[in-house]
Amino acid sequence: MKKYLFILLLILVFLCPGQNAFAQTLTDVQDHWAKGYIGQLVDAGVISGYPDGAFRPESSITRAEFIKTLVVSRGLPLKPRVNPTFADVETDHWHYPYIETAVAAGIIVPGDYIQFTFDPDEPITRVEAAIFLSRSLDLIEESAYTGFDDGYQIPQEFRGYIRAAKERGLITGYPDGTFKPWNPITRAETCKILVCYMYEQGKGKGLVTLSYDHQLPSVYENAFSVHKAYGYPGVNYVCTSSVGSEGNMTVKQLKEMESAGWETASHSANHLHFKDLEVKDIRNQLERSKLWLEQQGLTSENFAYPFRFITPNPLVLEYYNSGATSYDKEINIRPVNPNKLNRYYLQDPGREEIKAVLDKTVAEGGWVIFHTHNVYKGSQKPDSKSINQDTLQFLLDEVARRNIQVVTVKQGLQIVAGK
């Protein structure tokens, strides 16, 4: 249950279509620097405004309020104790179960507080917030140096937590190099911190595949080198009867790419409208393309439907291990149907679109198969189904920044199947 709540919260934070819908109803955040962060956290149900419609972004947040937002954003199931841990946290108070849950999770260490007094309604300090964040993610650095010029003001046993939070971008300092550890944190700052925190929880999850269509030479000329710079594989879906003909990639080039970890997959022999073919003609296309790939020593295990199908054609399953379609722009979420792998069609996408899809991939722990035709650069003329080499570079930069694993279709199928 904890896992699925966490995933739901991440989805809301990163991709809720009305991401700022709630923020727009708040009366005092329209021109605030943290409006976007506030909107994401309000939409996710992690924090809320006041009955009068205000959010009060510059007001301090209390220890109890911060702990509640941390527990909710972490997706921790509430575990109240029979006997209160702190003398000033009564069982009938709204914050009691959240504080006890944080204690049970090791986020709050009762021994840090004098006479077991938590002071839940006092403003939380920056140093305390950083400690809670690091503990909740099991982050600790064995260091007496926080990375801030005023880190000496922090007791040495806590400095490792501050350094860990800083290195992961969970909480930052000020332009003058200080941390101001004992300053209170505002509600606006809390929203920014928690968006970063929720992203850190999901970082490194998910799979990415980059697939290319129609054996076009621009993939070899303009995409292959970019992939190699990162060590990332790709997938070529080819119409086998066209490989080696004028204006197309050659078998030698496909093999060179496979030697670098790429996969070659089928897009049928002639890229016909399968929905208009008789059964015998579909079989002919599938059998010919499969046989040709095998004869050339290419991968030959997976297939992409050349034209739209409402459901995967069952004949494909007799020849190939998977069937991919590129019309719905959806991310594949477990349990994955190998016979209907959705591909996200990249048609000269904007950078915000790319980041949004990758964030959703991380949030859902899903598998996004990006798909495009040409990869053009410089003065080369693009078509409507292609991307710029600079866009591809940006995409791979964002993938690397999120530490998402890049796989071929064959590898992705093995991973999602738990093999």
* 24 touches 97 (CB < 8 A): no
249 and 360 together in one domain: yes
67 and 181 together in one domain: yes
Percent residues over pLDDT 70 in the chain: 91
Mean pLDDT score, 158-164: 88
94 and 235 together in one domain: no
Contacts of 105 (CB under 8 A, 6+ apart): 71, 74, 76, 136
240 and 177 together in one domain: no
Mean pLDDT score, 263-284: 90
Q: Is the pLDDT of residue 19 over 50?
A: no
**Domain boundary residue, one of 178, 202, 226:** 202
277 and 374 together in one domain: yes
What residues make up the domain containing 299? 207-416
140 and 180 together in one domain: yes
- Please classify residue 295 by burial: count the beta carbons closer than 10 Å to its beta carbon, then call 0-12 exposed, 13-18 middle and 19+ buried: exposed
Q: Is the peptide bond before 335 cis (omega within 30 degrees of 0)?
A: yes
Give pLDDT, residue 2.
Answer: 41
**Per-residue tokens: 28:** 């005092």
**Domain boundary residue, one of 149, 170, 202:** 202
Q: Is the pLDDT of residue 120 over 60?
A: yes
User: Who has greater pLDDT, 336 or 384?
Assistant: 336
* 186 touches 203 (CB < 8 A): no
Q: How many CB atoms lie within 10 A of CB 300?
A: 22
**Per-residue tokens: 367:** 């598998």
Give the separation between CA 331 and CA 337, rounded to whole angstroms: 12
Question: Residue 311: which pLDDT band, with cuts at 50, 70 and 90?
Answer: low
Give the separation between CA 123 and CA 66, rounded to whole angstroms: 9
180 and 241 together in one domain: no
403 and 282 together in one domain: yes
Q: Is the pLDDT of residue 70 over 70?
A: yes
Beta-bridge partner residues of 207: 367, 405
User: Who has greater pLDDT, 147 or 140?
Assistant: 147
181 and 234 together in one domain: no
pTM (2 decimals)?
Answer: 0.59
Percent residues over pLDDT 90 in the chain: 47
**Domain boundary residue, one of 187, 202, 217:** 202
Question: Residue 308: which pLDDT band, with cuts at 50, 70 and 90?
Answer: low
* 116 touches 87 (CB < 8 A): yes
Question: Residue 202: which pLDDT band, with cuts at 50, 70 and 90?
Answer: low
Give the separation between CA 141 and CA 120, rounded to whole angstroms: 27
Q: Which of 15-24, 115-124, 245-254 has the lowest mean pLDDT?
A: 15-24
133 and 211 together in one domain: no
Question: Residue 203: which pLDDT band, with cuts at 50, 70 and 90?
Answer: low
> What radius of gyration do the chain's Cα atoms show?
26
Question: Residue 243: which pLDDT band, with cuts at 50, 70 and 90?
Answer: very high
Q: Which of 12-26, 242-256, 267-281, 353-367 has the lowest mean pLDDT?
A: 12-26
- Residue 313: φ, ψ to 5°: -70, 120
320 and 335 together in one domain: yes
Number of domains in the chain: 2
